[in-house]
Structure 1
């Protein structure tokens, strides 16, 4: 179980990224059931000090307002929220918020793969039994 932070009408958490022996914590990440894919600010890709590999992809995505943005889809060794981890997952690194108030979105790809249940009343997430 992991406690979520309710602010500005959204549920926030911290995310742990691990790749090639390097680790980083990403704060202010929104749990977004409306997002198909998880996306993290590219600042954290730089903090992981990892290189672009042949299996990385440039992805074009459209937001709710219809604006298009590009991101780098990269396989990461591990992504987690508290003790809830997914290994060998492809996540996007791209701009989410031009004003840098949000560092990422946890999308349905992570939520479904981890079999997450969201308790809105208690502001918690936990694994399905």
Structure 2
């Protein structure tokens, strides 16, 4: 079970990214059921000192209102939201919020892979048993 917080009318949480023996905590991440892919600000790859590989791909994404941005889709070892862990997942890394108030969006790829249930009454998420 993992606690969520509502700020500015949105669901927020924190995640831990792990890759090649390194990890980083990413705060101010929005749970976004309207996002197909999870995206994290590219600065967090840099803070883990993780480079790019031939397996990484450049992807084009369309956001709300038709804005278009590009990001790098990279397979990482794991993403953790409390005790909810998804291993070997491809995440997008790029710009989410030019004002730097949002560090990432947790999308359906993570939520469905983990089997997450969102309890909006108690503001928790947990894995379906």
TM interval, shorter chain, is over 0.9
Q: Equivalent residue of 1:102, what SS?
A: coil
1:37 corresponding residue in structure 2 = 37
**What's the CA shift string for 1:62-100, capped at 9, x where partnerless?**
001101100000000010100110000000001000000
In 1: Cα distance, 2:22 partner to 2:46 partner: 11
Cα distance in 2 for partners of 1:46, 1:53 equals 14
TM-score, length-normalised on structure 2?
A: 0.99
Match of 1:54 in 2: 54
- The secondary structure found in structure 1 opposite 2:50 is coil
Q: Tell me how far 1:40 sits from its aligned partner.
A: 0.1
Give the aligned partner of residue 72 of structure 1.
72
Question: What is the root-mean-square deviation of aligned Cα atoms in Å?
Answer: 0.4
Large movers: runs of 4+ above 4 Å: none
Q: Which runs of 5+ in 2 are unaligned?
A: none
- State the match for 1:98 in structure 2: 98
Per the normalisation by structure 1, the TM-score is 0.99
Q: Please give the per-residue CA displacement for 1:24-83, whole angstroms capped at 9, x wherever unaligned.
A: 000000000000000000010101101110100000000011011000000000101001
Matched, 1:114 2:111: no
